[in-house]
Structure 1
Amino acid sequence: MALIAEVATPIADASFVPPAITGTEPDVATEILYRALLEICRRHEPDLEAVLKGEADIARLTPERIGRALQLQAIWFRLLSIVEENTAMRRRRHVERGQGRAEVGGTFSRVFAEAAADGVKAPAIQELLRTLRIRPTITAHPTEAKRVTVLEKLRKIYLLLRELELPRYTERERTALMSDLSDQIELIFLTGELQLEKATVVREVSWALHFFDEALFEMLPELLYSLESSLAEYYPDENFEVPPFFQFGSWVGGDRDGNPFVTADVTRTTLKRNARASMRRFRTRINDLGKLLSITERVLPTPPGFRRELKALLDASGDGTAIAERNPGEHFRQFLTCILRKLDATIERNKEEPVELPGPYYSDADQLIQDLKTLEQGLIQGGCRSLAVNQVRPVRRMVELFRFSTVHLDLRENSGRTTKALREIWASVEGREPDEAPELETIEWRAWLTSELTKPRTKPRDLPKLSDEARETLATFALVGEMRAELDREAVGSFILSMTRSVDDILGVYLLAKEARIYLDAPGVEICQLPIIPLFETIEDLRAAPAIMKELLSIPLIRRSVRWQGGLQEVMVGYSDSNKDGGYFASNWELYKAQAKLTEVGNQAGVPIAFFHGRGGSVSRGGAPTARAIEALPPGSINRQYRVTDQGEVVSFKYSNRGTAAYQMELTAASVIQHALNSTRSVSPARSEFEDAMEALSGASRAVYTQLIGHDGFVEYFQNASPLDELTLLNIGSRPARRTGARTLSDLRAIPWVFAWAQNRHIITGWYGIGSGLKNFIEVRGEPGEQLLKRMFENFKPFRLILDEVEKTLRMVDLSIAREYSLLAPNAETRDQIFKLIEDEYALTCEMCLRVSGGGEIAFRYPAFRERLAERLPVINQVSREQVELLRSYRAETDEFKREEAKSALLLSINCISVGFGATG
């Protein structure tokens, strides 16, 4: 079995002390980590050393030893990823040192250098910044396969590897660093890779907050500083006001769509934990400021205005004399002591079991922000501008960015659940039974919704017909007003309605919000304070979205509410279910069309529409390089706001380490700004021709894809020829794999759909149907059609992005391994038919992609990707083959002990493959 030896050749000298890691190549770092892992293996599992060196076949081991071998491979994949992350950071630094910041792709400097060269004026940039809102939104699905305890140790390894880059250490010091690094790898080796029990929502909340504690609290304020520095370089005579335009959202603890474990109480607990996380970080930073600002009035006279503000705080504290006597003459320290006391009281008030402390507290983050502004201005007025800007302003910005909430927590529910609650409300109001309610989308149902929406609510109504489920739904809405008043006005972000199918679905949510009294009510001018975001997921829903939103935006209540909320109507588009519904090409094209049409709908209605992109980590779920994904969006579709989901393993990839987190955030923000600036330029006149071609390609590819998934026995084949059912045993998420438990394709969530196809190496979710689409287009249109496709490849970004990502996916497919999985399906006739379709389409897709791109081999344009994948494939391929045998054993085994052994090894194989590819779902 060719394992780690394919990547790094061991050297026998175990006393090796590494030199400083220099240059931009990862070879030394790879060798350092390989040697450490090899030595640990020799100490704890000497019989696996041959496996580690690629000199043994794990298939000959017992299930228990197979499991340990697979864990070893997964650890190595993780260590390789650390090397690659560190190398990418060093390469960016190398370019910046040698050529300047503007030569580093995805930076503010590059964007503003180009903007200045193109004649973009400062007022245009200031107006864009004034209204810009960027919000990556962390979700727990697919939940990160790595445990938090493993994440912490991997971060420590990353930091130690960075230390080893520095040439300042002596040999003795470098040996000590190596010992520490080896200890961290050993701890991972001795820590279980698998979740020992089903993840809870509370644990998922801890997982999400981990990234803020480790990186985001400190690095997000740096993003604003980086933006200011770039503007100062390319617009040196201008003064820009940079607002807190980049903030984080979250679904963790608020997403109840198909997750029975997310209750109103769980959401309340989540909101309070989020609030305490940010408050505690503010407290640490403010306490540090108090230690730092030891300025005495004997040297620096205190500005009169600041002295008055200090007196007001001291008087309000109830302990002003003691505070003043503790630091006599040190007015800035006294001011910070008052802030700390108020913040401590605020933290105590927001615990699970609140404690009332004497003295004042902060009722919201705005009050703390104002106190920090007062401190900042006091220093400036006293002649200490540098201290104000470099020490106080970053803390003030941190509070502006994270407030008393850390994130904007969204609530999500599906239309089936909200409609059920509405029918029960109808029954209570009308004195009848829920099953007597008017049918959805009828005149009678709309009339009832409209009538109820015009009636002000001053107190809760008696609704006797409500079930516990409906009361839970209403309790969730009631939390919005309660938590906004108790914690922070931005603690709750929006309500996302999954499976939106009609205007009535959306109006129903407005009515639920009204029942919960989160309205500004006055007769005839009711305004909903909670933004309601429809989510369009399937191809059918995406096509219906423009008509739905056109009608919705004509309703006065909606227009008033949107205007009050900031003037933008947000719409969420789903990449996963549309892919499952129509295949990769059709999904991408339908998403593009829907956004373009919805943008026009918003323009015509005078209510701009902004988009929330429900992307996952894998290509099949919308995953793509950040800058290119944003660049390929329809012109004008970023209306001052860009939101996107960061899911599961994507979160740890982007935000585990501070340097990477800073770059990823800047990459996102710079790409959004670039797109917004470019959208003002003219569109290519060939665009309509390209769109006609995309429509034809989409239709042909979808027809072939639909034929496959509609094949008799397809669902049975999928379940047998992949570890679909076994994925649920991984315990990597709190949410069930199916919405209702029905064993149908439509009920299956998109995440296990993609995850299982990646495990069995078919990966049809990222390419199937595209070869036939391209072939059909060329056959119908001949040579002119082929030339058109080649022009599109060069000039139409959405088409180019699709083909590039398809080629990367094709590189990961292995049909020889896929055939082994197919043999797990018992119906020989069905499996042969289905596999033949996949085999033929794969060959055709490879052929047609190369024909259009002009390449000599698949993914030839991405040598770094091919090299990275080539390092991993020998291991992944062998693990895949072993997984087939483990599936066969696990499914057939009747002895409970042996079955449990096989299960453990099987789950480790799933984990190992997902780590190797870098994605779960």
Structure 2
Amino acid sequence: MEAIESAGAEARKVTSRGVEAPRRQPAAPPSSPPAPPSLLDRLATASSALPTLDAEAYEPCVVDLLFGLLCDVARRRQPQVELALRGEPLPPDVPRAVWRRSLQAQGIWFQLLSVAEQSTAMRRRREIEIESGYARLTASFSRVVADAAAAGVPADEVRAVLQHLKIRPVITAHPTEAKRVTVLEIHRRIYRKLMDLESPRWTPRERRKLVGQLANEIELLWMSGELRREKPTVAQEVAWGLHFFGETLFEAVPLLFERLEDALHQFYPGEHFEMPRFFQFGSWIGGDRDGNPFVNNDVTRATLYDNRLACLKRYRQQLLDLAQTLSITAEALPVPEAFGAELARVLEQSGDGPAIATRNPGEVFRQYLTCMLRKLDATLADAQRRGAGTPIPGGYASADELAAELRAMELALLATGSDTLAGSYVRPLRHEVETFRFSTVQLDLRENSTVINKTLLALWRARAKPGSEPPDLQSEAWKAWLVSELARPLGPGEAGAALPESLADVEAETVQIFRMVRAMREQVDRNAFGAFILSMTHHATDVLGVYLLAKQAGLFSDAAGVESCTLPVVPLLETIDDLRRAPEILRELLAVPMVKRSIRAQGGVLEVMIGYSDSNKDGGFFASNWELSKAQTKIARVGRELGITISFFHGRGGSVSRGGVPAGRAIAALPAGSVNGRFRVTEQGEVVSYKYANRGTAQYHVELLASSVLEHTFKSEREDELQPRGEFDDAMEALAGASRAAYVKLVDQPELIAYFQAASPLEELSMLNMGSRPARRFGARSLEDLRAIPWVFAWSQNRHALTGWYGVGSAISSFLAVRQERGLDLLRRMFNESRLFRLIVDEVEKTLAQVDLDIARDYASLVPDARLRETIFTQIEAEYRLTTAMVLKVSGGSAVAERFPQFCERLARRLPAINLVSRQQIELLRLYRAASADQERRSYLVPLLLSINCIASGFGATG
């Protein structure tokens, strides 16, 4: 450990003249003393201590190791850059190329810190498991099942929960991921090299080579462009999403099922549990067209084919590996009669049975796998044609057929007593096929209610008498028209009929979405699509309109098109007003017989999506969290009253402001009875790479998500912390109201947008080319249509971070002004006994730690209007100081975030560099905006965008 720290300190050494770069020494004659070891040699020698360190000592040593290697690269490539790495400002006359490189180097350092922390977290989990057992891991199935058994939860109840368990994280391509796939791949290799260095088995020579390879990867980061030259296409975003499946997720999900099976067998011995494929992934990439003109039906079709090819290629490689592994002969292992008949069937079906049998004489499993590979090759070849031409015969009709053949092989091994071989080699692949099917993910489609309603109005006009005007969209007449059209049987050829020529391109494209669903289900997989998500659902009629478009496309289950819809339609409630109206919306919707029939036909579950981002933008952090919690309780109650199970889809983002809180705590704080084994959540931007880029972290996070859902289902209605308590609810209502009032008072000021645009890089974010989606939905320039992502992103860049705390101080202060000491006692009890209140306070406090008023004031100096600048910033500064004081009063702390030592330690590593980059960004914004010539502006643009990237990497979240 001391050697690593010494090497890290050596990497930081400078002289009064600047960086003390190592000099390459000429080969010394035999009589000369040996040359001093290089930094690389010292780090390699020092790394030999890593296997013996616990996680607490391991992290700083790995950090020093990576810092030393990065500094070594900087010294050799551009020595001045080490000044920036050490947190020192560059001289004002430094060339702009050095400025750009220093910003990139800081960004690389933040990325390396993140990799080091992921590695440390994995090491810490292993230490706990070694010392205390797997059941002590917070996120483990073993702990959850052990607790359930100890609490007396009967096996029948566990079976009932498993029967309905359904968990689906949904990967989205919101523009919050600044890292390219190339960079992600380098990060993964660095992570794996760190894991290799933990082993004590290496010789000094081998360890030196490993450290050298680690240095090479860091040098590749240095030389890889961090900024996208062009805005990514949707196809590139699809490839980005599929990257994680190939790296970790295809493997992680079968292991998840295995871990749950092991836990159930351990704590419920002698009981049998059916294990449904309860964990699947969804995706919005290529299907989310809400405000994204680059997603159209052609793009969605291409996405479905790409998704299909990804899993088929994976299965092919897995079958090849199985064929090499299962070299079992009939002489060594008698073949069960049933499998012999199955083998004869597939050999005959192949058309080349004798040749296959001759090539692998007696090796029955290899013969069987050869037939399977031929069928899969035909399926793969057909998929590569992307629907063009006549389908290639001889392939698999569906994923079910492939899974059934794997099951036949698994049963054959089990029948011969080869349980371990069946469980180790065949069953994981069967689980993969049953989970990922022939589509990898279930692709959701998303569109805004404005677009849906415009399309319906256009269809109404096209079919009405000339000069007729449609009813108002909020009128009873409009609802009556929708209901009557849904009840009317379609005439022959009406489903999928030619579109009226009067439809605009966007309207015609919207109608064709639903026709595409019908065609692509047949071509790709019956589960290729998840649901249709309706953004900005304000009324029940918005949802009925989607059902009508689905009906007219032939997506109803009977020939007449009047029975039930086969495509789930999910209302997305985003604003606080819509969340409050949710019970009314759902009652009105479920009063339509067709809707109820459709839900029952789809399994009896209505999914409702709730939005964390826009509700936060609408009412602030505290009010958003309370309104979301209330809405879930009320919606679930409506479902129970009407005999419909409600499942919630949580639209969370990466940052705290958009619901990005620790997954386990977030689920634990959900209202009692609101989960019931069903849980969907969006995984956005940098969250995806943080959770799923590395094998160990991916396995941990999928188990954390699934075990948290299982625990909430078992315990939530038995726990005091989640039971409704009148005095707590009244306090939350009062606090949320006061918090929202303070927040709205700020954001409703007409001049706030002018302040925000000037005092942050809001407009410059659009040039960062992080995602295909525009920053605004419909091209207007108001707060209402500004997406929540740039809203949050820009406030975090300018160090105000007000989307994660503003209004909380005013709320607590006004509450205490009325209730005084009794109120403080109540809030402190809530802090200790209410999971939701505690979660809000904790996350507010951590966000406050990231605010820097001095730097925020410097950003405010970019606002040219002094009166506006002082008016807005004075309010923000006062609320920040009030919130800090009030939160500490409730938590009993003496300093912000002192209750979170690991968080503080990691933030402290980053803040000096982030602060330096923030001040550089302020100057770059000033120069960029003041430049008159295009060429001069362009010269400032790249370092400005690098500074945005760098700060985002430093905080680990963007929007």
Aligned pair 1:807/2:845, yes or no?
yes
SS of residue in 2 equivalent to 1:572: strand
SS of residue in 2 equivalent to 1:812: coil
The alpha carbon displacement at 1:870 in A equals 0.6
CA contact (8 A) 2:413 2:421 kept: yes
Q: Aligned residue for 2:79? A: 46
The alpha carbon displacement at 1:428 in A equals 2.4
CA contact (8 A) 2:611 2:651 kept: yes
Q: Which among 534, 543, 553 is matched to residue 580 of structure 2?
A: 543
Aligned pair 1:824/2:858, yes or no?
no
Q: Deviations over 1:158-190 (max 9, x none)?
A: 001100110111111111111211111111100
Identity of aligned residues (%): 54
CA contact (8 A) 2:884 2:896 kept: yes
Q: Distance in 1 between matches of 2:947 and 2:773?
A: 22
Aligned pair 1:388/2:388, yes or no?
no
Q: Aligned residue for 1:362? A: 396
Q: Deviations over 1:218-270 (max 9, x none)?
A: 11110111111111221122121211101100000000000000000000000
Q: Deviations over 1:681-718 (max 9, x none)?
A: 26567711111111100111111111111123111000
Q: Distance in 2 between matches of 1:130 and 1:705?
A: 44
Q: Mapping of 1:22-101 within 5 angstroms?
A: 22=51, 23-24=54-55, 25-57=58-90, 59-101=92-134
Aligned pair 1:710/2:748, yes or no?
yes
Q: Mapping of 1:283-322 within 5 angstroms?
A: 283-322=316-355
The alpha carbon displacement at 1:29 in A equals 1.4
Aligned pair 1:280/2:313, yes or no?
yes
Q: Distance in 1 between matches of 2:709 and 2:418?
A: 36
Q: Which one-letter code corresponds to 1:144 in the other structure?
A: E
The alpha carbon displacement at 1:487 in A equals 1.1
Q: Deviations over 1:293-345 (max 9, x none)?
A: 11111222221111111111111112222222211221111111111111111
SS of residue in 2 equivalent to 1:642: strand
Q: Aligned residue for 1:115? A: 148
CA contact (8 A) 1:348 1:356 kept: no
Q: Which one-letter code corresponds to 2:425 in the other structure?
A: Q
Q: Which one-letter code corresponds to 1:461 in the other structure?
A: A
Q: Mapping of 1:149-160 within 5 angstroms?
A: 149-160=182-193
CA contact (8 A) 1:59 1:882 kept: no
Q: Which one-letter code corresponds to 1:854 in the other structure?
A: G
Q: Which among 65, 87, 103 is matched to residue 136 of structure 2?
A: 103
The alpha carbon displacement at 1:491 in A equals 0.6
Q: Distance in 2 between matches of 1:483 and 1:698?
A: 46
Q: Distance in 2 between matches of 1:768 and 1:812?
A: 13
The alpha carbon displacement at 1:38 in A equals 1.4
Q: Deviations over 1:389-419 (max 9, x none)?
A: 2110011001111110110000000001011
Q: Structure 1 pair 358/814, CA: closer, same or farther in 2 (3 Å)?
A: closer
Q: Distance in 1 between matches of 2:269 and 2:91?
A: 63
Aligned pair 1:144/2:177, yes or no?
yes
The alpha carbon displacement at 1:5 in A equals 12
Q: Aligned residue for 2:551? A: 514
Aligned pair 1:796/2:834, yes or no?
yes
Q: Which among 152, 163, 170 is matched to residue 196 of structure 2?
A: 163
Q: Which one-letter code corresponds to 1:397 in the other structure?
A: H
CA contact (8 A) 1:296 1:331 kept: yes
Extract unaligned runs of 5+ from structure 2: 14-37
Q: Distance in 2 between matches of 1:833 and 1:60?
A: 35
Q: Which among 562, 567, 582 is matched to residue 599 of structure 2?
A: 562
Q: Aligned residue for 2:255? A: 222
The alpha carbon displacement at 1:815 in A equals 0.6
Q: Aligned residue for 2:21? A: none
SS of residue in 2 equivalent to 1:329: coil
Q: Which among 600, 606, 614 is matched to residue 637 of structure 2?
A: 600
Q: Distance in 2 between matches of 1:357 and 1:33?
A: 53
Q: Which one-letter code corresponds to 2:586 in the other structure?
A: M
Extract unaligned runs of 5+ from structure 1: none
Q: Which one-letter code corresponds to 1:781 in the other structure?
A: R
The alpha carbon displacement at 1:840 in A equals 0.5
Aligned pair 1:125/2:154, yes or no?
no
CA contact (8 A) 1:6 1:54 kept: no
Q: Deviations over 1:51-78 (max 9, x none)?
A: 3334553655233221110100010111
Q: Distance in 2 between matches of 1:681 and 1:43?
A: 62
Q: Distance in 2 between matches of 1:565 and 1:795?
A: 38
Q: Which one-letter code corresponds to 1:217 in the other structure?
A: F
Q: Mapping of 1:186-201 within 5 angstroms?
A: 186-201=219-234
Q: Structure 1 pair 56/829, CA: closer, same or farther in 2 (3 Å)?
A: closer
The TM-score, its normalising length taken from structure 1, stands at 0.97
The alpha carbon displacement at 1:121 in A equals 1.1
Q: Mapping of 1:482-501 within 5 angstroms?
A: 482-501=519-538
Aligned pair 1:847/2:847, yes or no?
no
Q: Mapping of 1:155-554 within 5 angstroms?
A: 155-353=188-386, 354=388, 359-432=393-466, 436-457=469-490, 458-459=492-493, 460-464=496-500, 465-521=502-558, 526-554=563-591
Q: Which one-letter code corresponds to 2:452 in the other structure?
A: T
Q: Which one-letter code corresponds to 2:209 in the other structure?
A: A
Q: Which one-letter code corresponds to 1:406 in the other structure?
A: T
Q: Aligned residue for 2:30? A: none
Q: Structure 1 pair 824/402, CA: closer, same or farther in 2 (3 Å)?
A: same
How many residues are aligned here?
A: 917
The alpha carbon displacement at 1:537 in A equals 0.4
Q: Distance in 1 between matches of 2:234 and 2:903?
A: 35
CA contact (8 A) 2:607 2:646 kept: yes
Q: Distance in 1 between matches of 2:6 and 2:539?
A: 55
The alpha carbon displacement at 1:861 in A equals 1.4
Q: Aligned residue for 2:29? A: none
CA contact (8 A) 1:456 1:526 kept: no
CA contact (8 A) 1:503 1:551 kept: yes
CA contact (8 A) 2:256 2:699 kept: yes
CA contact (8 A) 1:428 1:463 kept: no
Q: Distance in 1 between matches of 2:788 and 2:125?
A: 35
The alpha carbon displacement at 1:20 in A equals 4.6
The alpha carbon displacement at 1:523 in A equals 5.5
Q: Mapping of 1:496-895 within 5 angstroms?
A: 496-521=533-558, 526-681=563-718, 687-895=725-933
330-339 or 411-420, which moves further after superposition? 330-339
The alpha carbon displacement at 1:352 in A equals 4.1
Q: Distance in 2 between matches of 1:727 and 1:294?
A: 57
SS of residue in 2 equivalent to 1:128: helix
Q: Structure 1 pair 721/169, CA: closer, same or farther in 2 (3 Å)?
A: same
Q: Which one-letter code corresponds to 1:585 in the other structure?
A: F
Q: Which one-letter code corresponds to 2:243 in the other structure?
A: H
CA contact (8 A) 2:621 2:803 kept: yes
Q: Which one-letter code corresponds to 2:225 in the other structure?
A: G
The alpha carbon displacement at 1:896 in A equals 2.7
Q: Aligned residue for 1:19? A: 48
Q: Which one-letter code corresponds to 1:313 in the other structure?
A: V
| Superposition CA RMSD, Å | 1.7
CA contact (8 A) 2:254 2:431 kept: yes
Q: Distance in 2 between matches of 1:455 and 1:169?
A: 75
The alpha carbon displacement at 1:425 in A equals 1.4
Q: Deviations over 1:509-559 (max 9, x none)?
A: 000101111111256961100000000001111111111011211221111
Q: Deviations over 1:612-658 (max 9, x none)?
A: 00000101101101111001111111133100000000000000000
